[in-house]
Structure 1
């Protein structure tokens, strides 16, 4: 029986935006995955995350972003552990829990450039498949084995969105409506 194919898209998702959704959707279809999981990174309690959002708020925004897509889900494994959230440790734990799954770790071009600095990257690259998405301003080249997937390039970042929200500017079309409504209701990013 063939193994289940699961994509993992990690990040702070602060806030999650259409760029995340497009990346996940493009990889899902290009790689014929069974599902894509959005995996928010754990932020240590002593470190303030940009915008002052809580883990619970970030998780809720992901839930709202993916609610209408049957092949998207939330992966909260990083919140089960304490200490630094190294991708190597997280993925080894996932592989141990789900030996019947092939994992595909989705990264943008900016992260591809940074791969040589990743914790235990030489081992990680042998354990999981990396899927890269080109990103504006990033070389996106590596000597590591990365399968590149073409995707519409949407030059949007969570940093840009937080700045716009702080300034009271419009972010229409860059965030799912449910996330915009949640941000407004919670008063997020207003006083950065």
Structure 2
């Protein structure tokens, strides 16, 4: 189901995330959704304090914002919002959507991208009913290998009636790139070329991002073993 927004309103897609760092899979996802649904614009929203990732230290918003800006610079349909990084405390979707509606008014129709594997958790989100009824259409992106009943099933619909009517599904190609893996590769001195835009790779190197103590030990061990 890929229902397109009403033509008389500005259709805006929203892609939230930690973007620590942003990579090519994020960009491909955003462009695939934008072109499939005919969205006028795709807005990247770096998280301030993502409530689901408070267990690990997240790179400063300054660096994450800078990397997103570099990554999207060549696409005129891509832009970035500071709505979450400028707000203190954990970032909840309902608060972000309220602020964007205040900023952009009724002429913008907002559609928020969610992973297909996260749909089953949607009923437990903070104020999901308000999100569906008042604030946004949902776009579920589905990668190869997921079937319809894996994450989105009758139980989710029962807990959140009307979910089907507020949902579009966009299939994506398989892209095995993750921010976690990129951080680990940088820490271990391994290449990340072709996983992130070249400008983002240069930024990571220039600012010594993801150089953890564990990574330093791994690099020193590899160097020691190579010299033996």
* TM-score for both structures, normalised by structure 2: 0.77
Distance 1:167 1:78 in 2: 31
Question: In the alignment, what sits opposite 1:133?
Answer: 141
Distance 2:202 2:174 in 1: 25
Distance 1:19 1:154 in 2: 6
1:19 deviation in Å? 0.9
1:86 deviation in Å? 0.8
**1:120-160 CA-partner distances (Å, limit 9, x unpaired):** 01110122100011146763425323210122121221111
Q: 1:80 to 1:163 in 2, by over 3 A?
A: same
Pick one of 3, 26, 31 that aligns with 1:20. Answer: 26
Distance 1:140 1:67 in 2: 34
Question: In the alignment, what sits opposite 2:48?
Answer: 42
Q: Are residues 1:161 and 2:182 paired?
A: yes
Distance 1:114 1:126 in 2: 17
Pick one of 72, 75, 80 that aligns with 1:69. Answer: 75
Question: In the alignment, what sits opposite 1:92?
Answer: 98
1:32 deviation in Å? 0.4
**1:74-130 CA-partner distances (Å, limit 9, x unpaired):** 011112322221100110111122121000101122322321221001110122100
Q: Are residues 1:178 and 2:185 paired?
A: no
Distance 2:182 2:75 in 1: 23
For residues 93-132 of structure 1, the aligned pairs below 5 Å read 93-99=99-105, 100-127=107-134, 128-132=136-140
**1:45-80 CA-partner distances (Å, limit 9, x unpaired):** xx6854x52110000000010010000000111123
Number of corresponding residues: 189
Contact 1:7 1:36 in 2 (8 A): yes
Distance 2:207 2:145 in 1: 33
Contact 1:35 1:72 in 2 (8 A): yes
Deviating more after overlay: 141-150 vs 11-20: 141-150
* TM-score for both structures, normalised by structure 1: 0.90
Contact 1:110 1:135 in 2 (8 A): no
The higher radius of gyration belongs to: 2
Deviating more after overlay: 134-143 vs 100-109: 134-143
Indicate the structure whose relative CO is greater, using CA pairs within 8 Å and at least 6 residues apart: 1
Unaligned runs of 5+ in 1: none
